[in-house]
Amino acid sequence: MYRTRFRCIVSTALFMTLLCVPGAGNATYEYATNTGKSCTFCHHDNNGGPLNDVGYAFARNDYRYPIPERLLDKQRAEQTEIRKTLTLIIGFLHIVTAFILIGAIFYIHIFVRPARITGGIPRQERMLGLTCLMILTVTGIYLTMNRISRPEQFFTSTFGLILFVKIVLFAIMLAIGLVAVTVIHRRMKRESGLLPVPHGDLTHATLERFDGTGEKSAYVAFEGDVFDVTGSGHWKNGRHFGRHAAGADLSGAMKDAPHGPEVLERMRSIGKLSTAAGAGPPISTVRKIFIVMTYVNLVIIILILLCIGMWRWGLPIISARADRPDLSRGPSCVACHRQTKPALVSDWENSIHSKVGVGCHKCHRVEPGNDSLASRPHRRNSEIPVAVVVSPRTCAGCHPKEFEEYGRSKHANTLEIVWKIDKWLVHDMNNDIERSTGCFACHGSAVEVRDGRPVPGTWPNVGVGRRNPDGTLGCCTSCHTRHRFSIVEARKPEACDQCHLGPDHPQIEIYNESKHGTIYHAEGSGWTWRPDNHEWTAGRDYRAPTCSACHMSGAGRAARTHDVTERLSWETQAPLTMRPAEFAPFPAQTDWRIEREKMKSICLQCHSITWTSDHFANLDSAVTNYNERYYGPARRVMDELYEAGLLSRKAYFDEELEWEFYELWHHEGRRARMGTAMMAPDYAWWHGFYELKHRYVTFMEKAEALRRRGAPKTYPQFPGTKR
């Protein structure tokens, strides 16, 4: 018997091992999409190498790129050593338990035969089955939640669909198992005399099974009534003083007994003894049900193994490419544009989008009922509408976290900010062409659409705060220029230098002067701009920070973000320096203390606590110096002159003193503060506080001259405006 069981276990284990032997495959996106295979079937610690967090995120994203950053962040948070160890243990327990349960089921069908089982399911087998089902349920839920993050993923890939089928099959098997070990088991025991029957009529055949032997109950009948004598001390092992046996009708024997039928009145009445067919299903019916259920479970087990085989050996029920018309249209777009716009096609072909199958139609498609993005028929195929204006909402389909973060940033809202803070726009002191080619080129235009085409003057535009026809703000290609959309490009300071330069906010000049910029220009060509693990890390991939390293990349307490408003403790573009939450044109929803700690954690990657703290102390002192010694007194003088009527409020820049005051805070004042913040001493002093002093002295001298003169002097001619 034991040899037979051993053979069964060995054969089952061998079968399962052969089923799970990995086949030849390539760890590529195309391989996964064409076969529907799971990454983790090859990438185990002892078979194919461990799967990293990016691989797990790829699997949880239906084996498709691009992987949403929120999913990568979640996966990285989950892939701690403790979490990975726990997953490994639970996965191993799940597999071992499945082997045991499958082996037990095959053993019963091959060697025991369900038809031979009578009197219910043996206790050991029953406990083993229930334990296995419970463990498989708990571990299966955990493993499924680890692999599936959204319900729709069950139906968007071969892996998801097969997993769904497996879950349904297991649920059916679980239901059958629970019914078998409860209802069917009790019925079989009852019909075999191992359990007392409920109150009702019994046939002679049924009565005979309750003879009190072994674990059976002891029943006797008297004049048509059936009594349970199991608990009587006079009926041990179903025998009464060695003369009478339970399971019989004692109506005739009572007359020879030393007592009368009154002793039976103390016993529990079971029911009536019937000569007709017994109440309830016959034994054969219950056993037939049990046999059918066991064979159904066997079929389910075979189907589950078939699912694993289909999944493991590559039967693509759902191809990732089958339901993606954007990919099928892509080649036709490329074929034409390769002739007319070869540089555009080259950019796309060298992009990550091209490598992961994001074609033209993915970004330029027009959603039904939405023609706000300047959609127009394609010139060669009028049936394909094309969206000329691609808004951040399109990018949000794959990058929702970045879309949400960018939407609340100063970049996205800078068009609103500039209209509130810059006197040139507020007082209409420049014209449309000057604004569209100058101000709006960086801050963004409000794109208008007429007859399916964008209006000149509002387009072309890739300003960071562009207001799109669909209501979204911003333009992703301002930093990730189309059609390559390179993260490497966006990480380099040159990505910011188109806008952050010049007399009013020369951040790129300041950076180039700083020691950070010096190191970048000396060594940056050898840095790793796109590491394999997607974690751009100081000290390993780069030696000195760039703009994105300080304001966007993650380190320490600072999580990576596309909200450049974060990590700011002062609003240095404002006329009077203030905390970001107090900046009236765009109050930030941040606490400057928390944000400063985030920025400090960036600095602490390379610098000591003392160095970092002293740097920010210098910045605070420089801000106080500017606010109290330069801007504050100049602002009070301007207010006095306006109140005295010596300056006109009708228009700005129509009087010399207004120019002087504007450039005091907008040019020299900003340079002094920004140069200090970014550690560029020449901009902090010679282009900053030095020129600020010169401007301040000149301003005060002209203000005094205006007081003596007693009348404002306005410019009669102001070119390029409506005046």
Strand partners, 450: 453
526 found inside a domain: yes
Residue-wise pLDDT for 580-604, tens only, equals 999 999 999 999 999 999 999 999 9
Query: Which residues have a Cβ under 8 Å from the Cβ of 79 and sit 6 or more positions away?
Result: 52, 53, 56
Two structure tokens written together for 197: 């029957």
Q: How far apart are CA 536 and CA 679, in angstroms?
A: 23
Q: Are residues 679 and 530 in the same domain?
A: yes
Whether residues 101 and 182 fall in one domain: yes
Which pLDDT tens digit goes with each residue over 296-351? 888 988 888 888 777 666 555 554 443 344 433 455 688 888 888 899 999 998 98
Same-domain check for residues 43 and 134: yes
55: closest CA among 532, 537, 482, 383? 532
Q: Comparing 54 with 101, which gets the higher pLDDT?
A: 101
pLDDT, position 379: 56
Give the pLDDT confidence score for residue 63 in this predicted structure: 56
For position 383, what pLDDT does the model report?
A: 58
Shared domain for 528 and 626, answered yes or no, is yes
| Residue type, position 543, single letter | R
Percent of the chain past pLDDT 70, that is, above it, reads: 77
Minimal CA–CA distance to 372: which of 453, 485, 430, 310?
A: 453
105: nearest Cα among 18, 179, 173? 173
Give me the pLDDT at residue 68, please. 64
Where is pLDDT greater, at 254 or 674? 674
The percent of residues above 90 in pLDDT, for the chain, comes to: 37
Q: DSSP secondary structure string, 531-563?
A: -TTS---BTTTBSS--HHHHHTS-BTTB---S-
CATH number, domain of 270, equals 3.10.120.10
Question: How many Å apart are CA 466 and CA 474, to the nearest integer?
Answer: 5
Here the tokens at position 231 are 């608990």
Last residue of a domain, one of 478, 493, 518: 478
DSSP annotation string for 69-94:
HHHHHHHHHH--HHHHHHHHHHHHHH
What is the structure's pLDDT at 251?
81
What pLDDT is stored for residue 231 in this prediction? 78
Question: Is 347 part of a structural domain of the chain?
Answer: yes
> Quick one: 595 and 691 in the same domain?
yes
Q: Measure the CA angle with vertex 691, ends 690 and 694; round to 5°.
A: 95
Tokens standing for 194?
Answer: 């191992």
Amino acid making up residue 567: R
Cβ count near 334 (within 10 Å): 16
- Give me 577's structure tokens: 């320096």
Residue 11 is assigned to a structural domain of this protein:
no
Question: Do 95 and 140 meet the contact criterion of CB atoms below 8 Å apart?
Answer: no
Residue with the two structure tokens 């349904």: 168
Q: Which of 676, 666, 365, 678 is nearest to 512 (CA)?
A: 678
Grade residue 279 by pLDDT with cuts at 50, 70 and 90.
Answer: very low
Total H helices, total E strands in the chain: 31, 11
Mean pLDDT of 529-538: 87
Task: Decide if 158 contacts 316 (C-beta within 8 A).
Answer: yes
Q: Provide the CATH number for the domain around residue 627.
A: 1.20.850.10
pLDDT at 186 over 60: yes
- Report yes or no: 125 and 109 within 8 Å, Cβ to Cβ: no
Q: What's the mean pLDDT in 183-194?
A: 66
How does the average pLDDT of the chain come out, rounded?
Answer: 80
Other CB atoms closer than 10 Å to residue 169's CB: what's the count?
A: 18
Q: Exposed, middle or buried, 615 (CB in 10 Å: 0-12/13-18/19+)?
A: middle
Better-predicted residue by pLDDT, 404 or 312 = 404
Task: Work out how many domains the chain is built from and give that number.
Answer: 4
Contact status, residue 653 vs residue 718, Cβ threshold 8 Å: yes
State the DSSP string of 201-255: -EEHHHHHH-B--TT--BEEEETTEEEE-TT-GGGGGGEETTTEESSEE-TTGGG
Q: What would the two tokens of residue 416 be?
A: 């609103």
Contact 486, 351 (CB under 8 A): yes
Tokens of 719: 């070119």
For residues 380 and 307, state if they share a domain: no
Whole-angstrom distance, CA of residue 2 vs CA of residue 328: 60
As given in the structure block, the two tokens for residue 72 are: 């990568």
Predicted local distance difference test score (pLDDT) of residue 180: 81
Is 179 in the same domain as 206?
Answer: no
- Among 258, 278, 298, identify where a domain stops: 278
Q: Give the 3-state secondary structure of residue 145.
A: helix
Residue 382, domain member (yes or no): yes
Q: For strands 375-377 and 385-387, give the pairing.
A: antiparallel
Q: Return d(Cα 452, Cα 41) in angstroms, integer.
A: 49
- Regarding whether 521 and 608 lie in a shared domain, the answer is yes
| Within-domain flag for 454 | yes
* Residue 277 neighbours by CB distance under 10 Å: 10
pLDDT for position 189? 65
Are 447 and 469 a contacting pair, CB within 8 Å? yes
**Rounded CA separation 646/660 (Å):** 15
Listed range (113-117, 295-299, 534-538) with the worst mean pLDDT: 113-117
Instruction: Taking residues 408-427, report their average pLDDT.
Output: 88
Average pLDDT rounded to a whole number, residues 369-378: 62
Q: Which amino acid is at 362?
A: K
Chain-centre distance of CA 529, in angstroms?
Answer: 24
Do 54 and 144 lie in one domain? The reply is yes
Q: From CA 656, how far away is CA 663, in angstroms rounded?
A: 11
Q: Is 163 found in the same domain as 255? A: no
- How far is 60 from 87, CA to CA, in rounded Å? 15
Of the candidate ranges 49-58, 459-468, 552-561, 564-573, the one whose mean pLDDT is the lowest:
49-58
Lowest mean pLDDT among 129-143, 354-368, 527-541: 354-368
User: Rounded to whole angstroms, how far apart are CA atoms 160 and 62?
Assistant: 8
Residue 297 to residue 567: CA distance in whole angstroms: 60
The type of residue at 342 is P
> Residue 674 pLDDT more than 70?
yes
For residues 151, 156, 158, 161, the Cα torsion angle rounded to the nearest 10 degrees is 40
515 plus 640 within the same structural domain? yes
Range with the poorest average pLDDT among 17-31, 84-98, 396-410:
17-31
Q: Confidence band (pLDDT; 50, 70, 90) for 423?
A: confident
Percentages helix, strand, coil for the chain (3-state, rounded to 5) are 55, 5, 35
- Please state, in angstroms and rounded to a whole number, the distance separating the CA atoms of residues 447 and 461: 8
Q: How far is CA 383 from the centre of its chain?
A: 36
Round the CA-based radius of gyration of the chain to a whole number and report it: 41
* Of 506-515, 631-640, 641-650, 695-704, minimum mean pLDDT range: 641-650
Mean pLDDT of the region 612-636: 97
Q: Does the residue 52 lie in any domain?
A: yes
Give the model's pLDDT for residue 239.
85
CA distance 466 to 436: 11
pLDDT, residue 605, reads: 94
| Angle, CA 226 vertex, CA 222 and CA 228 arms, to 5° | 115
280-284, 310-314, 500-504: segment of lowest average pLDDT: 280-284
Predicted pLDDT of residue 696: 97
Q: HSE of 600 in the Cβ direction (CA atoms, 13 Å)?
A: 18
How far is residue 228 CA from its own chain's centroid?
Answer: 64
* Amino acid at residue number 652: Y
How many Å apart are CA 499 and CA 418, to the nearest integer? 13
Report the first-to-last Cα separation within the chain, whole angstroms. 107
> Could you tell me the sign of the dihedral formed by the alpha carbons of 560, 561, 564, 565, in that order?
negative
Residues 635, 617 share a domain: yes
Closest CA to 646 of 567, 711, 716: 711
Identify the domain containing residue 352 by its residue range: 340-478
Q: What is residue 85's predicted lDDT score, i.e. its pLDDT? A: 81
d(CA 614, CA 617): 5
Residue 717 lies in a domain: no
Residue 404 lies in a domain: yes
Which of 478, 499, 528 lies at the terminal end of a domain, its last residue?
Answer: 478
